[in-house]
Amino acid sequence: MRIPIVLVALSLVACAKSEKPAADTAAMTAGPAAMTEADVAGTWTGELKLAGTDSVVAHWTQVCGGGNCTGTSQEAPDTTRATYTIEADSSHGVSAPYVSAAMGGARVVDHWIARASGGSVTGTGWTVLADKPDSVLMRTTFTGTRK
């Protein structure tokens, strides 16, 4: 049986979707603005908490600029040094190995991912043994403000 071509054309038109193009697809897919050195550089103070809790374990100060940070906390007298890399909308920091009294004298390295916006910063971190970089001893969250 032959179907007349007019019926085929009518059925195709009846089944076609009516789609409107998005008004501004670039704006919808752009994502967060890229972080810059100006967003990171400066003196920051804040609190460090154990991940998933409200337990504050440190009150910290970081002085950052040019890919380097020097950090102190009220709870530990030693100064730590770290480097950071800006990666899209955040920065990734890694401390030099240091001896942590809070971790029973173990040599540890801190890692963190920070997102700064205006005068505030939030992020997550983790601490590993210096000689076993795949060991996670502690996971943390932090908040802070620029001085």
pLDDT value at 143 more than 60: yes
Nearest to 104 by CA among 137, 133, 81: 137
Provide mean pLDDT across the span 43-52. Answer: 98
Calpha distance 125→65 (Å, rounded) = 19
Q: Is 5 left (phi over 0), alpha (psi -120 to 50) or beta?
A: alpha
CATH number of 37-146: 2.40.128.120
Boundaries of every domain in the chain:
37-146
Considering the chain, what percentage of its residues have pLDDT values greater than 70?
80
> What pLDDT score does 25 carry?
56
The mean predicted confidence, pLDDT, of the chain is 86
Calpha distance 101→103 (Å, rounded) = 5
Nearest to 40 by CA among 6, 7, 82: 82
pTM here? Answer: 0.77
